[in-house]
Amino acid sequence: MTRTTAWWRYAILAAAALVFAFPFYFMVVGAFQQNPTNTPDEMFPREGWTLGNFTAIDSRIDLLGSLTNSLIFTAGVLLGTVTFGLLAGYALARLDFRGKSATWVLMMLVQMVPFQLLMIPLYVQITRSYGLGDTYLGMILPFLINTTAVFIFTQFFRALPKEIFEAARIDGASELRILRSVAVPMVRPALVTVLLVTFIGPWNEFLWPFLVTKDTSLQPLAVSLANYISNVAQSTANPNGAILAGATALAFPVVILFLLFQRYFTASDIGAAVKG
Amino acid sequence: MTDVVTPPVRTPSSPGSRTGGRRKVLGRHPIGSLFALPYMVFVALIFAYPLVFACYIAFHDYFFTAPGVEMERPFVGLANFIDVLTDPQVLESFRNTAVFLVINVPLTAVAALVLASALNAGIRWAAAFRVAFYVPYLTASVSLVGVWMLLFSSGGLVNSVLGPLAPEPSWLVNSALAMPSIALYVTWKQLGFYILLYLAALQNIPAELHESAATDGASALQRFRHVTIPGVRNATTLVLILAIITGANLFTEPYLLTNGGGPDGASLTPVLLIYQKGIQQQNPDTAAAMGMILVIIVGLLSLTANRLTREK
């Protein structure tokens, strides 16, 4: 590798990184400014710092309530995915049972079914047939078990040496016990990966909760912030700071989690998850 | 309502080989099907049944009723499909999606591959760069759309930097620029994910291939063309297909960024229209038919992408 090519790599990467990071800088700085700027010479403000934007948006959309709703929605999905995903992943990787290949085929099909097709029937099913409009369960149900997570669990359980499982079985442990005390402790990193992969889905999801919740006190932050942007903001005197404050509140939990755990989040996991 | 897919339990044929026969039928660990059962119920309820239900709705005169009210919903054949295909708004939304795909898909594939190969050369701060590229993908679109709206509004930062070069009317309210602006936004938002896919593929190309090409006197550009690009062919197929699917699913961006598909329908997308027709205007039958047509088109496009990137 010659010196010039290396220099070019850095130039390309740095320019791209700037394009990727700048809107975040703009968002966070604007969220804490009395008058978020739109001119380049005021991009590095020295004064005018305030928390007022957060109180401004809170007065219109109940920031804490919406964040709690986002958290309940996300926690429900995580709970379902970890409980039922571990069971299914373990069975697919380590147990020989009738219907195993059918389950595998189903998983492949699920990955291919696009949401455009499911949107209307799911809406009819959940709000009309089951009467779950404006409930947490109605929000959670379509995401309850994340298929990508089941794939990741299966992949990790398969990688464990089979002698461990045979030994545990000879000792007379039940399969549930083996899963809980042998298999799960050995795939802790997979658990973190799955939690991260699964977390961003419901936390960021807009369309589905937007469809099933009309009651504003049940809406997750993504939905109430969108309502603020599209309806309320126009009738407010200075909405820019409030929009950026809401955007920051919605963005931060995921970004922080990812930065904390990013070593668990590797290219090969993502590749494996997508390719199945 | 839904038939749950459970493995059928059969009694063994001969009593003599009782356990052996049961093993053959149920597998060595019948409890496995119990473990997989919740997932299978979930798939049946949330994917299989709605899929069948979508077809039913699309071929019937389906409308919403108050709970408990039974109404006849007659079979109408292809009428809903004809309604959809003769609706100028629908055709416009498909045209808009075409504009989106023409900009987004090639830009995504090229930019992701270039950035992934730049990252792959064992450079310093690779992890920091990766994080910078990946953060928009992780962040809620609603957040980022809020930021882009301010950046690209008529008095926004982008226009104040461009000065006299700023478009008039501004980006998101300009019928020629609204869809390209959305395409740029989505490329930016999703790129980190595709960079990761390409990184995984690049790590599977044996280093010897690059080395032997270099010994044969191939320049960096020639090696990129003859070693890297063929080496990541499968990843390219995946990137193209996923980008097409993302493009066909656009909802949040036109809903918020261009105020519901504006100006004057210039950024109207199929999913936005499915929402308007199916839920706002209470015509789930046309909306379901439109969903089916959209899925068929996406399927054909994905198949084409697969063919084009297949080894000759």
What does the pLDDT look like over A110-150, one tens digit per residue? 887 888 789 999 999 999 888 899 999 999 999 999 998 99
Average confidence score pLDDT of chain A? 87
pLDDT tier at A190 (50, 70, 90 boundaries)? Answer: confident
pLDDT surpassing 80 at residue B203: yes
Instruction: Give the minimum alpha-carbon distance from B96 to chain A in angstroms, rounded to a whole number.
Output: 17
Cα B38 to chain centroid, rounded: 26
Is residue A109 over pLDDT 90? no
| Residue B195: pLDDT band with limits 50, 70, 90 | very high
CA B93 to chain centroid, in Å, comes to 16
Tell me which chain B residues have a C-beta less than 8 angstroms from the C-beta of A28: none
Q: Among residues B194, B175, B176, B178, which one has the least CA distance to residue B105?
A: B194
Q: What pLDDT is stored for residue B232 in this prediction?
A: 92
Alpha-carbon distance of A219 to A85, in angstroms, equals 26
Structure tokens that stand for B159 in this block: 């226009």
Residues in chain A with CB shorter than 8 Å from the CB of B271 are: 115-116, 119, 207
- Is it the case that residue A4 has pLDDT exceeding 90? no
Q: Side chain identity at A45, as an amino acid letter?
A: P
- Where would I find the H helices in chain B? 18-26, 31-43, 49-58, 79-85, 88-119, 126-138, 141-151, 157-162, 178-202, 207-215, 220-223, 229-231, 233-248, 252-257, 270-275, 284-309
Q: Which residue has the tokens 């199929």?
A: B270
d(CA B109, CA B91): 27
Q: Can you name the residues that pair with A49 across neighbouring β-strands?
A: A33
Instruction: Indicate whether B17 pLDDT > 60.
Output: no
- Say whether pLDDT at A275 is over 80: no
Report the residue from A12, A116, A271 with minimal CB separation from B118.
A12
Name, in order, each residue with C-beta under 8 angstroms of A195's C-beta and a sequence gap of 6 or more.
Answer: A78, A82
Q: Tell me the three state secondary structure of residue B61.
A: coil
CB pairs under 8 A between A and B: 306
Q: B138, A261 in Cβ contact below 8 A?
A: no
- CA atoms of A227 and A238, how far apart (whole Å): 16
Reply yes or no on whether the pLDDT at B297 is more than 80. Answer: yes
User: Which range, of A30-44, A55-69, B140-154, averages the lowest pLDDT?
Assistant: A30-44
Mean pLDDT of B91-111: 96
A98·B50 Cβ contact <8 A: no
Question: Rounded to whole angstroms, what are the CA distances from B1 to A220, B41, B49, B50, B87?
Answer: 30, 12, 9, 12, 34
Note whether A271 contacts B200, CB cutoff 8 Å.
yes
Q: Cβ contact (<8 Å) for B50 and A118?
A: yes
Q: How far apart are CA A124 and CA A135, in angstroms?
A: 15
Give the end-to-end CA distance of chain A in Å, rounded to a whole number. Answer: 35
Write out chain A residues lying below 8 Å of B161, CB-based: 40
How many degrees, rounded to 5, is the angle at CA B33 between CA B30 and CA B39?
Answer: 165
Contacts of B28 in chain A (CB under 8 A): 95-97
Q: How sure is the predictor about A266, in pLDDT bands with cuts at 50, 70 and 90? A: low
Written as six digits, the tokens of A267 are 């290219």
* Mean pLDDT computed over B181-196: 95
Cβ of B300 under 8 Å from any chain A Cβ?
A: no
**pLDDT at residue B91 is higher than 80:** yes
Chain A within 8 Å of B275 (Cβ-Cβ)? yes
Residue position matching structure tokens 């992969």: A197
Check residues A207 and A113 and name the one with the higher pLDDT. Answer: A207
- For the segment B96-109, the average pLDDT, to the nearest whole number, is 97
- For residue A22, give the chain B residue with the closest CA: B132
Of A113, A243, A267, the CB nearest to B200: A267
Nearest to B118 among A13, A244, A250 (CB): A13
pLDDT at A115: 80
Q: Select the residue of A100, A145, A248 nearest B42 (Cβ to Cβ).
A: A145
Residue A14 has pLDDT above 90, yes or no: yes
Angle at B117 between CA B112 and CA B120, to 5 degrees: 125
Instruction: Return the HEC string of B184-221.
Output: HHHHHHHHHHHHHHHHHHHCCCCHHHHHHHHHCCCCHH
Tally helices (H) and strands (E) across chain A.
Answer: 15, 0
Q: Which of A98-102, B147-151, B250-254 has the lowest mean pLDDT?
A: A98-102
d(CA B119, CA B195): 9
Q: Which residue, among B42, B59, B129, B195, would best test binding to A if mutated, counting the most A CBs under 10 Å from its CB?
A: B42
At residue B256, the 3 state secondary structure works out as helix
Strand partners, B60: B75
Tell me the per-residue pLDDT of A54-76, one tens digit each, with 9 for 90 and over: 998 998 899 999 999 999 999 99
Predicted pLDDT at A270: 55
Set of chain B residues whose Cβ sits within 8 Å of the Cβ of A151:
none
A117, A123, A255: which to substitute to probe chain B, counting the most B Cβ within 10 Å? A117
Which of A11, A102, A31 is closest to A245 using CA atoms?
A: A31
| pLDDT at position B216 over 80 | yes
* Burial class of A164 by CB neighbour count within 10 A (0 to 12, 13 to 18, 19+): middle
ipTM, 2 decimals?
0.90
Please, which residues 71-130 of chain B have a Cβ atom closer than 8 Å to chain A?
111, 114-115, 118-119, 121, 123, 127-129
Q: Indicate if the pLDDT at residue A254 is higher than 80.
A: yes
Q: Does B7 sit within 8 Å of A97, measured CB to CB?
A: yes
B307 at A interface, C-beta within 8 A:
no
- Smallest Cβ–Cβ distance between A20 and the set B132, B199, B238 belongs to B132
Closest to A154 measured CA to CA, from A91, A109, A85, A93: A93
- The DSSP annotation for A230-272 comes to IIIGGGSSSHHHHHHHHHHHHHHHHHHHHHHHGGG--HHHHHH
> Would you call B53 an interface residue with chain A, using a CB distance cutoff of 8 Å?
yes
A125: Cβ–Cβ under 8 A, 6 or more apart, which residues?
B49, B50, B53
pLDDT, position B268 = 95
